[in-house]
Amino acid sequence: MKFFWLLLLGLPKMALAAPAVYNLLAPLGGMPSSVTMTSYLGGILIVVIGVAGVLAVVMIVVCGIQLVGSPSVSQRTASKECIWNAIIGLALAIGSWVLLNTINPDLLKSDLTSMANIGVSAPAIPPAPTNDPMPTKAGFYYRTKDGSGIIRNSPRFSTSENCLGAKTKEASLGVIIEKTPPSSDTECFEIVEPSQAPSGGELANRNYLCGNDSCVGSSPLSINKPSCKPGQVSDCTNVNLLPTSAMDAVKAIAASTVVKITGGTEPGHASHGPGKPIFDLGLSTTLNTWVRTHSTMSASSFQNCRYRLTLAGNVWWFTLEGNHWHTCKLNEPGWYCKDSDKLGKSLSAGTYVSQCPK
């Protein structure tokens, strides 16, 4: 018995070892006279299945003769049981071979070297964590930075007050709040719905604004310079692709006072551009007075003032910047285009700061 178990333990080693040639002492099925251990074991398996089939047939014949020739009831019952056992044994032998051959023909082989060809793929390397993309749904957000430096978005808030409250609570727990954009002081920022589609080309928009192709020197609405030529990035002003809402706002001012556009969609601006409702208006005593008079609230902005006005059905913020009014539609990018301060705190409606009177 001990020898039997030692033999079983040694079979895999023999199968994986270099093939040794064995000369058969007697023919074995259709095998050649010189075989390897692998082909020999495979042939033995086929022979055993064949012998099992032959023995089953012999048992069926012998038991059948006993069934027919014996008058004893008990012998006839034993003969029937013998026949059924032979049939079941034959079915098991053939069925096991068919099943193994269907699953994998290699299971009927003794060549374990085929196991070496089984490919084992390395586990997939999980992708490196990346920053959350900027949110796109309208609302208020803040961004945090985790211990590995990955930036995550906060949930969406409907008001800046809710955003500030949640941000302050997280900051008190030691969470790092990421300023957005990084060079600003803004921690709670707003994502707004996309602006309306831009208007048409340069000549069409100049005609819409001033009634002529030039607008330079026109009154009461004018543009300070001609449009930019291809490749020109300075000493020119463009209004092509300026949204209709922006042009209607300027025309609303021109209905009461003289106004001059000094910046539009031309290159060289940090926030202006095609499709953006942002423009610059030149300073003048009459325009300055008109802006303050028609405003509904004021706030500090950088080192100057900004005023909130409603023009042509839309709300605009006029920010005093050196020699012009930087005008942007409410909730455009930039804290100075919003009803909140640079920290995201909402402004009180209808109020004026002391340094920026009406």
Q: Which amino acid is at 70?
A: S
Instruction: Tell me the two tokens of residue 277.
Output: 């409702």
Three-state DSSP class for 254?
A: helix
Co-location of 220 and 284 in the same domain: yes
Question: Is residue 176 within a helix (H) or strand (E), and if so which, with residue range?
Answer: strand 176-178
Of the three residues 97, 113, 129, the one that is the final residue of a domain is 113
Three-state DSSP class for 336?
A: helix
Q: Which amino acid is at 253?
A: I
CA distance 77 to 74: 5
CA distance 189 to 167: 11
Q: Is residue 27 in a domain?
A: yes
Co-location of 54 and 147 in the same domain: no
Q: How many domains does the chain have?
A: 3
Co-location of 104 and 31 in the same domain: yes
Would you list the DSSP string of 130-151? Answer: -PPPPP-SSEEE-EEE-TTS-E
Co-location of 60 and 38 in the same domain: yes
Co-location of 145 and 66 in the same domain: no
Q: Is residue 28 in a domain?
A: yes
pLDDT of res. 239 = 95
Three-state DSSP class for 260?
A: strand
Whether the link from the prior residue into 220 is cis, omega within 30° of 0, is yes
pLDDT of res. 195 = 46
Q: How many CB atoms lie within 10 A of CB 88?
A: 12
Co-location of 153 and 261 in the same domain: no
Integer-rounded Cα Rg, in Å, for the chain is 45
| Beta bridge partner(s), residue 314 | 311
Q: Is residue 88 in a domain?
A: yes
pLDDT of res. 90 = 80
Instruction: Tell me the two tokens of residue 144.
Output: 């945090």
Q: How many CB atoms lie within 10 A of CB 32?
A: 11
Instruction: Tell me the two tokens of residue 255.
Output: 């209905």
Co-location of 218 and 329 in the same domain: yes
Q: Is residue 120 in a domain?
A: no
Q: Is residue 344 in a domain?
A: no
- The residue segments making up the domain with residue 169 are 139-191
Tell me the CA distances in angstroms from 323 to 27, 278, 283, 285, 326, one per residue in order: 110, 16, 6, 12, 10
Q: Is residue 124 in a domain?
A: no
Q: How many CB atoms lie within 10 A of CB 92?
A: 12
pLDDT of res. 327 = 97
Co-location of 230 and 300 in the same domain: yes
CA distance 347 to 20: 92
Q: pLDDT tens for residues 175-192?
A: 888 877 665 566 787 776
Q: Is residue 130 in a domain?
A: no
Q: Is residue 156 in a domain?
A: yes
CB under 8 Å to 340, separation ≥6 — which residues?
Answer: 160, 188, 190, 346, 347
Co-location of 181 and 268 in the same domain: no
Co-location of 62 and 82 in the same domain: yes
Which residues of the chain carry a pLDDT beneath 70? 1-43, 106-121, 181-186, 192-200
**209 close to 251: Cβ distance less than 8 angstroms:** yes
Co-location of 108 and 181 in the same domain: no
Co-location of 107 and 73 in the same domain: yes
CA distance 326 to 323: 10
Q: How many CB atoms lie within 10 A of CB 137?
A: 8
pLDDT of res. 136 = 80
